[in-house]
Amino acid sequence: MNKHILFLITNRIIISLITLLIIAVIVFVATTLLPGDTATILLGQSATPEAIEGLRKAMHLDEPAFTRFISWILAFLHGDLGISYSNNMPVADMVGRRLLNSLKLASVTTAFAVPLSLFLGVTTAVMRGSLYDRAVTIFTIGVISIPEFIVATTAVLIFAVYLKWLPALSLTADIDTLAGLLRAYAMPVITLTCVVSAQMIRMTRAAVIDALASPYVEMALLKGASRKRLVLSHALPNSLGPIANAMALSLSYLLGGVIIVETIFNYPGIAKLMVDAVTTRDLPLIQSCAMIFCLAYLLLVTIADLIAILSNPRLR
């Protein structure tokens, strides 16, 4: 590995850490500015001023915002997510169970969406201008234009109401067979795949088309290379950078943007946990969920950038 590549990798990691610190400040300020007083919401409107003031002191809400931020970020770096305001449980325990469910849903969706997107993106690039290419393009543009709640609602109407093939709610408590697993995850996975695959298909198609038009592919074609070899050995490896970035941006939605999907299907994931925490103004829980979303997004984008750097033949 040459010095230039090492410098780029180090620089990208440092930028990610600085970005994470800025995000931490934004998350803390945003949750602090939520309307209403936490102590009043927890105790109710009938609580006495003395009781409200005592609870504020117990939760350190009477301290300056800067002091609370420093205490929170230091505890977060040590793995201490605090205690939930609403049920007096460790936030780490609450987040851990829900995060595992969200990761399961994200893993199943990724295992289904990524191969599908790569296949459709590469084949439409190779068959550019054909009826197949136009049909896939129309489908992807249509899916991108439709909000995910409409896709989820349509899936419920078709598969649960009319066809009665799948349950309207995704209940994971009683999964003990493969059929039960498929029935529980089918509706959320179908919805998420439609949402995240469309952009990956478009970006993969554009990257492969750009690679196929490059001089080195034309030279390989003049030397008698087959179409399969042109795509798999020349075009696709040199398109990994933009494809990895498109996948990172799309897959980051699986952790941070599944709030609507988990709410509609009543899936017990971390996004739904965050929605419930907002209604009770549970600040430690909201802050922890938001930081996990941001950390996952930054991790995916950073990995994609590192892949783009390492796969760039000019840098090598």
pLDDT at 172 over 60: no
Report d(CA 32, CA 15) in Å as an integer.
Answer: 26
Question: Using 50, 70 and 90 to split pLDDT, how confident is the model at 77?
Answer: confident
Report d(CA 244, CA 305) in Å as an integer.
Answer: 8
Q: Which residues contact 69 (CB under 8 A, 6 or more apart)?
A: 25, 28
Taking the alpha carbons of 123, 129, 135, 140 in that order, is the dihedral positive or negative?
positive
Report which of 188, 181, 178 is spatially closest to residue 271, judged by C-alpha positions.
188
Exposure letters 214-229 (e unless 16+ CB within 10 A, then b): eeebeebeeeeeeeee
**CATH classification code of 3-34+81-310:** 1.10.3720.10
Report d(CA 222, CA 201) in Å as an integer.
Answer: 29
**Do residues 94 and 84 make contact, with C-beta atoms less than 8 angstroms apart?**
yes
- Cβ neighbours of 130 (radius 10 Å): 12
What are φ and ψ of residue 171, in 5° steps? -100, 120
pLDDT at 36 over 70: no
pLDDT value, residue 193? 84
pLDDT value, residue 170? 66
Question: Using 50, 70 and 90 to split pLDDT, how confident is the model at 28?
Answer: confident
**Residue 83, strand partner residues:** 90
More confident of the two residues 135 and 213: 135
Give the CA dihedral 40, 45, 49, 53, nearest 10 degrees: -10
At residue 122, the 3 state secondary structure works out as helix
pLDDT value, residue 230? 67
Residue 83 DSSP code:
B
pLDDT value, residue 174? 53
Residue 90 DSSP code:
B
pLDDT at 286 over 70: yes
**Residue 90, strand partner residues:** 83
**Do residues 55 and 42 make contact, with C-beta atoms less than 8 angstroms apart?**
yes
Question: pLDDT of 99-125, one tens digit each?
Answer: 888 888 888 888 888 889 888 888 888
Residue 82 falls in which region: left (phi positive, over 0), alpha (psi -120 to 50) or beta? left
Question: Using 50, 70 and 90 to split pLDDT, how confident is the model at 45?
Answer: low
Report d(CA 54, CA 51) in Å as an integer.
Answer: 5
Q: DSSP strand E in 69-207: where? A: none
Question: pLDDT of 241-265, one tens digit each?
Answer: 777 777 777 777 776 557 777 777 8
- Cβ neighbours of 156 (radius 10 Å): 19
Give the CA dihedral 194, 195, 200, 203, nearest 10 degrees: 110
Q: Which residues contact 222 (CB under 8 A, 6 or more apart)?
A: none
CA 112 to chain centre: 15
CA atoms within 13 A on the CB side of 3: 0
pLDDT value, residue 50? 76
